[in-house]
Amino acid sequence: MARTLEQTTQEVLELAAGHFKVAPGTLAAGDDFFRKLGINSLQALELLSRLENHFSIELPDYEMQGVSDFQTLAERIQSRL
């Protein structure tokens, strides 16, 4: 069954929390992931690779330019599912 945007967003938040070892539930859809997780651009690319594997899609780096919050990230993923 196809995922809803809410489900996708939730999975993105859980994967990010797991990958960067922060407590589940501390991340919210509107959070800026660079600021909230204190990560640099290389670590953000790691997260993208992790999400690609999970959702079995390709997220080109150049299409993710300017995306810094989980909500928009989830929307970009959703449009490719």
Partner 1 sequence: MLDLSQYSSIGAALREAMQAFAGEVCLIEADRERENHRLTYREFAERAAALAKALQNGGFGAGGRASIIMTNQSKWLISAYAIFYCGGVLVPLDYKLTAEQQWQLLRHSGASVLITEYAIWRQLAAVAEGRAACRDLRLVLVTEAPAKVELAGALRWEEFRGDGAPAFVARERADMACIVYSSGTGGQPKGCMMTHENYLAQCVALTSLYPFWPGVRYLSILPTNHAIDFMVGFFGPFVCGAAVVHLRTLRPEFVREAFAKYKITYVSLVPLVLKNLQKGLQARFAELSAGKRRVFDWLVAVNKALTKSRARPWLSRRLLPQVHSAFGGELLTIIVGGAFTEPQTLQFFYDLGIPVANGYGLTEAGTAITVNDLRPFRADTVGKPLPGMEVRIVNADSAGIGEVYVRSKTVMAGYLNEPELTANTIVDGWLRTGDLGHFDAQGHLHLAGRKKNMIVTEEGKNIYPEDIEGAFESLPVKELCVFAADYIWPRGSMVGEQLVLVVHLEAGQNFTEELRRQIVERNNRLLNYKRVHGLVLVAEDFPRNASQKILREKLREHLAALERASAVQPL
Q: Which of 39, 38, 63, 66 is nearest to 52 (CA)?
A: 63
* Cβ proximity to partner 1, 5 vs 64, nearer residue: 64
Is 36 a binding residue for partner 1 by CB under 8 A? The answer is: yes
Q: Please select the residue that binds partner 1; options are 18, 26, 28, 63, rule is CB under 8 A.
A: 63
* Cβ proximity to partner 1, 36 vs 78, nearer residue: 36
φ/ψ bin of 22: left (φ > 0), alpha (ψ from -120 to 50), beta (otherwise): beta
Count of chain residues binding partner 1 (CB under 8 A): 20
The residue range among 2-10, 17-25, 61-69 that interacts with partner 1, by the rule CB under 8 A, is: 61-69
Distances in Å between the Cα of 79 and the Cα atoms of 4, 16, 30 are: 11, 19, 18
Q: Taking the mean position of all CA atoms in its chain, how far away is CA 45?
A: 10
Question: Residues in the site for partner 1, rule: CB under 8 A?
Answer: 32, 34-36, 38-42, 45, 48-49, 58, 60-66
